[in-house]
Amino acid sequence: MHLLYVGLTHRETPLPILEKVHFSDQEGLKALKLLKREKSILENIILSTCNRTELYLVVDQLHTGRYYSKHFLADWFQIPVKELEEYLVFREGDEALRHLLRVSIGLESKIVGESQVLGQLKQAFLTAQDAGTTGIVLNQAFKQALTFAKRMHDTYRINDRPISIGLTAIQELDRMGLDYSTKDSCYRFGRDWSAGDQVCSAAAIRISHAAQSDGQQGSSISDRGQGVCPWLG
């Protein structure tokens, strides 16, 4: 038996493709059971979020596991195999386990150290258990990963950092001493992050808080947008 990882993530995959290869909550159980029927697949867990779709597999042979898993994804999402395999990442054995641990503590996330993915990983594990697609290997691997991640968050507080791309961008703007009081400047910076709206929203909150400290009160975000942040809205 071999541990095999097959994934498409925000690191290698263009957004238009990544948006196509997402399993909805309603599709999860069916996808797990169909994947389990594929040749060579002995166990499987599917993690699918806005930033990644990952298959954690136990297979009897690596080469057939790779072949049938990528064809499963291509068939499910109706994408040609050649187009999909350009972005697919395969990891085996210890490398697959190492990736799982990195995902669990947010080191593979857009915002390093964020803890939301831990909840998503736990839910993916529980869904696979309900579907009957896990066994000794994945049960042990995921239990260890979840325990490891909880300890890392509790002990080392690696999630004590901004919780959104927008806030991280604003922190960077502050560090660079750049102006974010206009919509254009926020979107110019936000394009590099693919998060113009999030940058603008975060900037609006930051500016409105500063205004309130100076005595400029607003009953709502829209009220503040009229004065302090006129480009909001």
The residues annotated as belonging to the active site are: 50
- Cα separation, 29 vs 26, in Å, equals 7
Whether 5 and 93 have beta carbons less than 8 Å apart is answered as no
Phi-psi region of 69 (alpha: psi -120 to 50; beta: other; left: phi over 0): alpha
The one-letter amino acid at 120: Q
140-155 core/surface letters (b: 16 or more CB in 10 A; e: else): ebbeebbeebeebbee
* Alpha carbons 157 and 149: distance in angstroms, whole number: 11
